[in-house]
Homo-oligomer: A and B are copies of this chain.
Amino acid sequence: MKVLILGIDGYLGWPLALRLGARGHEVIGIDNLSTRTFSEEVGADSAFPLPNPEDRVKEAKKHLGIDINFYVRDVNDYEFLKEVLRRHKPDVVVHFAEQRSAPFSMKDYKHAVYTLENNLSSTVKLVYAIKEVDPTIHILKMGTMGEYGTPNFDIPESPFVEVEIKGKKDKIVFPRWGGSVYHWSKIFDTDLLLYFNSLFGITVTDIMQGPVYGTRTQEIVNESLRTRFDFDETWGTVVNRFCVEAILGLPLTPYGKGGQIRGFISLEDSMEALRLLIEHPPNQGEYRLVHQFAEIYSVRKIAEIVKAAAESLGIETRIQNVENPRVEAEEHYYNPEIKVLPSLGFYPKKNLKDEAKAMIEDLLPYKERLSRFKHVIMPKTKWRR
């Protein structure tokens, strides 16, 4: 297949390019390197030093023998996006080109506006470009389980649900509630894709993924093939941040009570799930919603697992709950359905316990580098007034 990855330079984009390339697919990617820029903006950086795009492509060729076509451009350049679709005729476009940090979106009005404009406009432009060039192209878009908030309902793996309100029944989009402007941008994105699917018949896989952790995939066979790894308060997700805290002798810091429950997935399992969804597209004109996670944990439990992993490597650490900078339920019901990925033969091969140890091992050689960013790990971006 031919796959165009928007956001190929990111944490998921790059290893997906390697996975698909290694499977013999033709890979084209676009990235404006905005996460590199934004990470610098908050005084942080990737734990692993990143080669520039040209070198990334060379290293992929050298170690894996695969060819990747990497354009350093903005997907919001509509004419360019259309030109790439015309030139490469992809079967599927993977849309990872969104601002993905909740704290980043809450810094001030500029970051809120940027997040909404970038995330919604890129989606709308992709839809119209596909409609113009080839309406049969499959869009695979990365959403987040966070779109649901923490409802008291079981969360079905389908966009619509039958509900009863004051004795009357109708089908509605499953209710969602955003915990940040970033989360709202993802909710709006999903609404727009549902709408355009109903209107234009475009083919969509919309993935609600849980937080991803990990440093390894089958294709990362050399340090030069590493994907970026964020661990600061703005860009680092919880497991990745905890591993670096352990290495730096900082306490592991669940926000608030730590009773927040989420579905997590390793980088390797995420890649495998994405490969399956790309190789097994939905029917033409179908909107397919997918829940993508492997294990369900509370943040408290995550901290305990990372602590044990660190200790198994002789690193002493402790857990210290800190004031929650976010507005979120710290104890709640959580029961999302998961059936689409299993129906494609997916089952997770990794678990947090083993992966946490592997992550710490992979990160330890970079301890000196990591220690330079100690000051951007603890939460400073506050949601509350």
Chain A contact residues, CB within 8 Å of chain B: 78, 108-109, 112-113, 116-117, 120-121, 124-125, 127-129, 131, 135, 151-154, 156, 161-166, 168-170, 172-173, 175, 177-178, 181, 184, 187-188, 191-192, 195, 198-201, 327, 383-385
Contacts of A113 in B (CB 8 A): 120-121, 124-125
- Bound together, the chains give a CA A146 to CA B384 distance in angstroms of 32
Contact with A151, one of B108, B172, B200 (Cβ below 8 angstroms): B172
Rounded to whole angstroms, the CA-CA distance of A70 and B383 in the bound complex is: 35
Which chain B positions have C-beta within 8 A of A152? 168-170
| Given A184-B192, A188-B184, A385-B201: A121 touches B116 (CB 8 Å cut-off) | yes
Question: With a CB–CB cut-off of 8 A, which chain B residues contact A161?
Answer: 165-166
| Known interface pairs A165-B163, A383-B199; A124-B128 also in contact (CB < 8 Å) | no
CA distance A181 to B170 in the complex (A): 23
Cβ-closest 6 pairs across A and B: A109-B128, A172-B175, A152-B170, A153-B165, A164-B164, A200-B385
A192 to B, closest residue via Cβ:
B184
In the assembled complex, the Cα of A121 lies from the Cα of B120 at a distance in Å of 12
Interface centre among A113, A161, A198 (most CB of B within 10 A): A113
Q: Contacts of A173 on B, CB cut-off 8 Å?
A: 175, 177
Chain B residues within an 8 Å CB radius of A169: 152
Partner of A384, one of B108, B164, B178, B199: B199
Distance between Cα atoms of A385 and B112 in the complex (Å) = 33
- Interchain CA distance A164-B109 in the complex, whole Å: 36
A108 touches B120 (CB 8 A): no
Known contacts A164-B164, A327-B199: A187-B177 contact under CB 8 Å = no
Of the candidates B125, B129, B191, B201, the one whose C-beta lies within 8 Å of that of A184 is B191
Residue of B nearest to A131 (CB): B385
- CA A212 to CA B169, docked complex, whole Å: 30
Minimal beta-carbon separation of A183 from chain B (angstroms):
9
Complex contacts, A384 vs chain B, CB 8 Å: 199
Cross-chain contact A151 with B128 (CB below 8 angstroms) = no
What B residues does A383 contact at CB under 8 A? 199
Taken together as a complex, chains A and B put the C-alpha atoms of A255 and B192 apart, in Å, by 24
Chain B residues within 8 Å of A151, by CB: 170, 172
- Which of B112, B129, B153, B156 meets A124, CB within 8 Å? B112
